[in-house]
Amino acid sequence: MVEKIAIRDAYGKALLNLGKKNEKVVVLESDVGNSTKSILFGKEFPKRYFNVGISEFNMVSMSAGFACEGFIPFINTFAVFMTTRGADPMQSLIAYDKLNVKIAGTYAGLSDSYDGASHQAITDISFVRSIPNMTVISVSDPIETEKAVEAIAEYDGPVYLRLSRAAAPIIFDENYDFKIGKGVQLRTGKDVAIIATGTILHNALEAAELLKEVGIEATVINIHTIKPIDEEIIINAAKFTGAVVTVEEHSIHGGLGSAVSEVLSKYCPTPMEFVGAVDFAESGDYNQLLEKYGYGPKAIVEKVKMVINKKTN
Amino acid sequence: MTKERKEELKNLCFKFRNDLIDLLYSIQTGHPGGSLSSTEIITTLFFEEMNIDPKNPNKEGRDRFIMSKGHGCPMLYLNMAEKGYFPKEDLKTLRQVDSYLQGHPCAHKTPGIELSTGPLGIGLGAGLGMALGEKLKNSTANIYVLLGDGEIQEGGIWEAAMAASKFKVNNLIAILDNNGVQLDGTLEEIMPMGNIGNKFEAFGWNVIHCDGHDVESISDAINQAKKSKDKPTIIIAKTVKGKGISFMEGKNTWHGKPIGEEEYKLAKAELEGVV
């Protein structure tokens, strides 16, 4: 049994540590601090913690003001509300003026499983990815979460940080070198490249194991930075394998799959298949939902077989 | 305010109105109505009340101005050019390709613009963030946010109003350009706002009323606002949309209409009559 740590716990801890190191960090919360775990920062630094109640539009607008003042605001709520209710000031203030705000959208994908489709985020990446100036990061495990929080605090500019609610298996170790914009190749195989983002990366790795059993060798790549995307690692993997499957807990329209296909259609047209949302999901156990809606390792294996059939040679 | 100073500021406002008509006529785009209604408010802030330095627009501890009703920015640009933020001859590039003077205020293109605005309702929350930021820095600077009365129909205004009260930002001073007219008609016709003062009072704000076309009345209101101990203040400045050009006054059609040749002549004749 692999060790699992909830991404939100890793995030809360990382934010607290950042607050100790950097007095410029302020944290804004919209009444879900016990869920996002921003409360850990709030307890230690009450003067730099602003809970604005249930008003995401105002939280995002306020963060722009803090950034104008030279602070580094981390703002927190569920990804689905951040990118719908907070969308206007995110685009017209933060992105337009390239303000140094870190936008943490948590409970991404289907991870808020029991709360149902109203609380699950399957459109956030496509929105934030289309906004000029925005960097988009989606983390896959607790270590990557901690490293990403440190890295985005160092980077001067707006960042959307996509976080899962789920307890995620630890994939990386403390020596993991996280660099914004650099993809990570976790496995090399000549038959297919599975390109994944977020905690669902773990299922991609499990799928690669299942594929090995039937003689299919898979490359697995973690794209934690969806924008700017690491074109080189994607092109190289496509050239090496000749077939690509993208895996994300997000709509197949506008997310990682779209980003990868934009790169490949331009530089290296390659047969692709997409694992992701085609419809709203529902309430239920997280792993059961992932199975039902086609995100499980077996579903990924099926997509791999489909794309391999599309190879011309 | 001395009589002489009041006269100086009045003359400045007159000059800005005259220049505004010339400017908007020359470029055939832009919003005359809401620029004219906010003339005295912006001029009083830039030439009487705010601690700002155009030679050092990012000076620590300066007062901040946010034009939340961003469409009124031609009047802001006239004030800023006069103050020395940028050359007056550049004003004619307003709304043209390659200009740093955008159709709505743009902080990353125009020196001295503190925040990009235009989508209505976002300036008050951002001003609240700035007010809290200044407090964290132990600064005594004030944050001024100019709101339109149509703009306060946006829900974000009331989210910010709620939060500003909670965080006790006495350094946040909103000024409402209460001209009673929005794009499609009067507020009464389109979306009546009722007793705006009572609404803000209910949200925990310090409410002050003034004559938005009297520089002394505006200045007095601002100085009263600065005395607030633990509440944000809204100054409800009674104004007239299109103020100073009789055929524009109170007319929603002059929210954002280009000025025709005949209208230009009429407006100029009227302004000359004032001299």
Q: Which CATH class is domain A184-310?
A: alpha beta
Decide if B129 touches A, using CB distance below 8 A: yes
Instruction: State the nearest Cα–Cα gap between B218 and chain A, in angstroms.
Output: 25
> Starting at the edge strand that comes first in sequence, how are the strands of the sheet with B233-238 ordered?
B64-67, B143-148, B172-178, B233-238, B206-211
- Ordered per-residue pLDDT tens for chain A, 313 residues: 568 899 999 999 999 999 999 999 999 999 999 999 999 999 999 999 999 999 999 999 999 999 999 999 999 999 999 999 999 999 999 999 999 999 999 999 999 999 999 999 999 999 999 999 999 999 999 999 999 999 999 999 999 999 999 999 999 999 999 999 999 999 999 999 999 999 999 999 999 999 999 999 999 999 999 999 999 999 999 999 999 999 999 999 999 999 999 999 999 999 999 999 999 999 999 999 999 999 999 999 999 999 999 987 5
CA distances in angstroms from B230 to A3, A106, A207, A298, B124, listed in the order given: 50, 34, 59, 60, 17
DSSP code for B258:
P
Spans of all domains in chain A? 4-169, 184-310
Look up the pTM and report it: 0.96
Residues 6+ away with beta carbon under 8 Å from B10: B215
- Evaluate whether A163 touches A124 at the Cβ level (below 8 Å): no
| Tokens linked to A268 | 């290296």
Amino acid at the residue A48: R
The C-alpha R_g of chain B, in whole angstroms, comes to: 18
- What domains can you pick out in chain B, each with its CATH number? 3-274 (3.40.50.970)
Q: Do A65 and B130 touch (CB under 8 A)?
A: yes
| Tokens linked to B231 | 């509440």
CB atoms within 10 A of CB B95: 17
B114 backbone φψ class: left, alpha, beta (φ>0; ψ -120 to 50): alpha
Taking only residues 151 to 190 of chain B, the set having a beta carbon closer than 8 angstroms to any beta carbon of chain A reads 155-156, 159-160, 162-163, 166-167
Would you identify the CATH topology of the domain A4-169?
Answer: Rossmann fold (3.40.50)
- Evaluate whether A124 touches A84 at the Cβ level (below 8 Å): no
- Evaluate whether B10 touches B25 at the Cβ level (below 8 Å): no
Q: Cα B88 from chain centroid?
A: 19
Which residues of A are less than 8 Å from B125 in CB distance? 57-58, 60-62, 64-65, 89
Type and span of the H or E element at B236 = strand B233-238
Q: Do A65 and B132 touch (CB under 8 A)?
A: yes
Report the 3 state secondary structure along A129-161: HCCCCCEEEECCCHHHHHHHHHHHHHCCCCEEE
C-alpha span between B123 and B116 (Å, rounded):
9
Which residues of B are less than 8 Å from A84 in CB distance? none
- Partner residue facing B126 (CB), from A50, A53, A62: A62
- Ordered per-residue pLDDT tens for chain B, 275 residues: 999 999 999 999 999 999 999 999 999 999 999 999 999 999 999 999 999 999 999 999 999 999 999 999 999 999 999 999 999 999 999 999 999 999 999 999 999 999 999 999 999 999 999 999 999 999 999 999 999 999 999 999 999 999 999 999 999 999 999 999 999 999 999 999 999 999 999 999 999 999 999 999 999 999 999 999 999 999 999 999 999 999 999 999 998 999 999 999 999 999 987 65
| Tokens linked to A127 | 């929105």
The domains spanning A4-169 and A184-310 adopt the same CATH topology: yes
Beta pairing class for A225-227 and A135-138: antiparallel
Q: Give catalytic status of residue A302 as yes or no.
A: no
H-state helical runs in B102-206: 123-136, 155-166, 187-190, 196-202
| pLDDT given for residue B273 in this prediction | 77
